[in-house]
Structure 1
Amino acid sequence: MTASAGIGDFRPVERAREQKGWFFVDWAVSAFQTTVAGVLFAPYLIEIAKQAADDRNRIYLLGLPIDPGSLPSYVITFSTILSALTYPLIGAIADRTARKKDLMAAFAWAGALAAGLLFFMTGDNWLFGSVMFIIANLCAGCSVVVSDSILPLISTENERDRTSSIGWAYGYAGGAILLALNFLLMKFGGSIGIDTGMAVRLNLLSAAVWWAVFIIIPWRRIRNREPRDVEDVQGGLLGRSFGQLWITLKELRRYPVAMTFLIAYLFFNDGIQTVIGSAAQYGTEELGFVLDTMLLVYLLVQFVAVGGAVVFSRAAARFGAKHVILAGLGTWILVVIGAFLLPEKQLPLLLVVGVGIGLVLGGTQALARSYFSLLIPAGKEAEFFSLYHAMDRGTSWMGTLVFGLVHQFTGSFRPSILALIAFFVIGGVLLARVDTAKGIEQAGNRAPERI
């Protein structure tokens, strides 16, 4: 019996069930993105590196001197460059396999294992911690590439903004719940004999466990599908995937609107990712807050982002996703300026900036994902989303590199944060030039009711 046979069409019910399972991908991976990548890893890595630093406050890798304060930026930079080389191949493989959900879960479990090994980052072994983070970050991105490619398969064009936004809301809610538990351990762990270092390591481990356990839900609920409209390329899976990737790269010129959006996304998302990844070290190193305070602020951001994603989704239904994203980028610029002007140890003002970040964080990212899905030709979802995430995580090295270099040369994080405005301005100007209707036509898709 088919989904549409019998007394009615049950396809909407089946899509809804898969969508509810798919929401938990964001719920699961958000544990790593918030607790590890967003809050704890950078400040803790700096402290570990400081223990290994010489009298000039420098550590060395292959003979190159590194300021411990800049180390997290360089680690993220290397990780994202590696991702840029990996994601497109993963996308090509995903489009040619009928086991997308299995591939997604396998990367998630590998990343969770590497994240769990961060528990053993103690003493002065900053190199071990850096390598484990790079592996976990790479696997997280690969898992999300495959997951996002499933979005067009489980939702219609009119369902995309809502489905993507609810997924982001789930992500921020899940991240917030775990982060609340992390905060309690950081704040009150001393009363039960757990020092700060052990509390950080246990929290890193908790994120890995959370990720590994909750990815089981989408893995069980989403069904695999046969590949569709893939190119006829000879060889095994890996050989065919390289061939498919080469064909897609050559055919990108047939989708100039999608290319323009990808370039715009490269810049504005680079700014977003750098703000997210650098917020904790900016708060601790520049503004003088202790780490558990930054956990509290990040927790506020997570909860506000849940509502922000829903608000942006409703605004997109009325005004169109592109216009709402542009408004969000304008708000990001105001947030960065506010962070630059923020006085030291002024918690109320820091909370105001945190609310601003939360309002635009989930909304801009969720709508960018669903907006781009409209520009993807059928059968190339994973490949195009791999390029999308190459702009997301894979080429976000520009922002972190600028942030790290400005700090290294100035000795302050304030000019580093201010420099990120350029990414939002350039990305916004390029996005304004994207012709949505033309891009949907080039991809051969149907337009939603509001674009």
Structure 2
Amino acid sequence: MADAAGTGGAGTGAAGTAGAGTAAERRREQHGWYFYDFAASVYSASVLTVFIGPYLTNIAESAMDADGFVHPLGIPVRAGSYFAYTISASVILAVLLMPMVGALADRTGRKKPLLAATAYTGAAATAAMFFLSGDRYLLGGLLLIVANASMSVSMVLYNAYLPQIAEPDERDTVSSRGWAFGYTAGSFVLILNLVLFQAHDSFGLSEGAAVRICLASAGLWWGAFAIVPLRRLRDRKVVREPGAEAVGSGWKQLVATLKDMRRHPLTLSFLLAYLVYNDGVQTVISQASLYGSKELGLSDSTLIGAVLLVQVLAVAGALGMGRLARIYGAKRTILGSLAAWTVTLGAGYFLPAGAPVWFFALASMIGLVLGGSQALSRSLFSHLVPRGKEAEYFSAYEISDRGVSWVGPLVFGLTYQLTGSYRDAIISLVAFFALGFALLARVPVRQAIAAAGNPVPDRI
């Protein structure tokens, strides 16, 4: 990669990192890098999206008192809210850890041991979900917090490799292939899990036992395939600058990273645009099943089938939009995807109730734009990161991706509260894509890449 990991900027704590190597070395690392998406995405697709929410809620309800409350650490919490609060706690922990771990990775150059530690902590916590039964809601909450936070922190380290293993002109393709690998694994394991879940009687299993096996299998998959990137990725040597500061606490390091970003206002402008439109993306993902269930009256099997369809088509979407980016550039392709998201939500507003075929059509549209918009956003941001600060800046990116996506659900919930209509709630999310489109369109990406000290690709 041309100067992709050369001398770091002032105050980075690193003078530079080793280059990406020869074409053969890059390909070897890229192939290994793809497999971390292949390993970890099963957790998101199967555990987080499908199984753990309803199962953990059922466990909490089995432990609730006569008033419908459980009492973790003596705090009264409605059993039906326990899962949501647990996810929020995991996000808070991740926000504290991501900047600190990202800065540590950049300043020591030892991304791989940190990736191994976070990956296997998350995989072990997920596999241990096999032991969730009865009224063990505290154990379930603890395991989910550890697994979800570990996933977020590991993705900081994983994403930070992208500028080091791919030439500037390769990154759109490499990032898109990573997402495609992830969605392929998610689809495959989700199919196996759904077969086991729906035919659990045929296997001599209770429904709860089938869910526990599905949860644990995601952890085993994550741990098994994480071996591939850990064998193929390599750490770069880092030269510490005299007087480099030690890594601080999570919040202190996050503040320091954001202050440093003020020296790169165009990078910060892109991150703001991403924060806005990604909030819309994450809200659609999290609320689509609710919309299908409550507004359209669709069955659980239809909703689970739609989730699987999104996973499958996201592979084609990621690869297809990667090819479009080679022709039109990443920025234009992302802008096109945001326009497609707007059309998709508009179509969703008019879906007739009780018509699964139209909901599957909506899921198809979401799948085709989902993977590509995420993959290209990651690759475009990688061009805007000052050299030697990959993990630190990607920690801020990951916080935007996972830690700050609460405004969209709030808008969705408030709209429903005021109107009593999930149709109005879903269409309210158009504002995130429209505003994100406007903010991204204003970012001069070529100028931003040059200002970050990176080579400008021929097509961006």
Q: Same fold (TM over 0.5)?
A: yes
Instruction: Quote the Cα distance in structure 2 between the aligned partners of 1:168 and 1:156.
Output: 18
Residue matched to 1:390: 399
How far off its partner does 1:449 sit?
1.1
Residue matched to 1:442: 451
Name the amino acid aligned to 2:54. Answer: P
Equivalent residues of 2:119, 2:226 under 8 A apart: yes
Instruction: Quote the Cα distance in structure 2 between the aligned partners of 1:362 and 1:191.
Output: 35
Secondary structure of 1:192's aligned partner: coil
How far off its partner does 1:106 sit?
1.3
**Alignment of 1:177 onto 2:188:** yes
- Which of 356, 368, 371 is equivalent to 1:347? 356
Matches within 5 A, 1:38-57: 38-52=49-63
Deviates more, 1:272-281 or 1:178-187: 272-281
CA 1:337/1:39 → structure 2, altered by over 3 Å: closer, same or farther? farther
Paired residues in the alignment total: 440
Residue matched to 1:102: 113
Per-residue CA deviations over 1:138-176 (Å, capped at 9, x if unaligned) read 100111100111111111100110100011111111111
Deviates more, 1:265-274 or 1:150-159: 265-274
Instruction: Quote the Cα distance in structure 2 between the aligned partners of 1:50 and 1:343.
Output: 33
Secondary structure of 2:262's aligned partner: helix
**Alignment of 1:428 onto 2:437:** yes
Question: Which runs of 5 or more structure 2 residues have no equivalent in the other structure?
Answer: 1-19
**Alignment of 1:199 onto 2:213:** no
CA 1:13/1:341 → structure 2, altered by over 3 Å: closer, same or farther? same
Residue matched to 2:90: 79
TM-score, normalised via structure 2 length? 0.87
Residue matched to 2:12: none
Matches within 5 A, 1:27-426: 27-52=38-63, 66=78, 68=80, 71-227=82-238, 231-234=241-244, 238=247, 248-284=257-293, 287-403=296-412, 414-426=423-435
Name the amino acid aligned to 1:28. Answer: A
CA 1:390/1:232 → structure 2, altered by over 3 Å: closer, same or farther? farther
Deviates more, 1:188-197 or 1:360-369: 188-197
CA 1:241/1:345 → structure 2, altered by over 3 Å: closer, same or farther? closer
Equivalent residues of 1:74, 1:400 under 8 A apart: no
Residue matched to 1:4: none
Instruction: Quote the Cα distance in structure 1 between the aligned partners of 2:208 and 2:300.
Output: 11
Equivalent residues of 1:321, 1:371 under 8 A apart: yes
What percentage of aligned pairs have identical amino acids? 45
Secondary structure of 1:101's aligned partner: helix
Equivalent residues of 1:74, 1:404 under 8 A apart: no
How far off its partner does 1:285 sit?
5.3
Per-residue CA deviations over 1:100-154 (Å, capped at 9, x if unaligned) read 1221121011011112222333334444323321221110011110011111111
Deviates more, 1:128-137 or 1:153-162: 128-137
Question: Which runs of 5 or more structure 1 residues have no equivalent in the other structure?
Answer: 1-8
TM-score, normalised via structure 1 length? 0.88
Equivalent residues of 2:96, 2:250 under 8 A apart: no
Secondary structure of 1:161's aligned partner: helix
Deviates more, 1:404-413 or 1:166-175: 404-413
Instruction: Quote the Cα distance in structure 1 between the aligned partners of 2:83 and 2:291.
Output: 12
CA 1:437/1:44 → structure 2, altered by over 3 Å: closer, same or farther? same
How far off its partner does 1:286 sit?
5.1
Name the amino acid aligned to 2:362. Answer: V
Equivalent residues of 1:186, 1:292 under 8 A apart: no
How far off its partner does 1:198 sit?
2.0
Instruction: Quote the Cα distance in structure 2 between the aligned partners of 1:43 and 1:369.
Output: 31
How far off its partner does 1:227 sit?
2.4
Instruction: Quote the Cα distance in structure 2 between the aligned partners of 1:344 and 1:119.
Output: 37
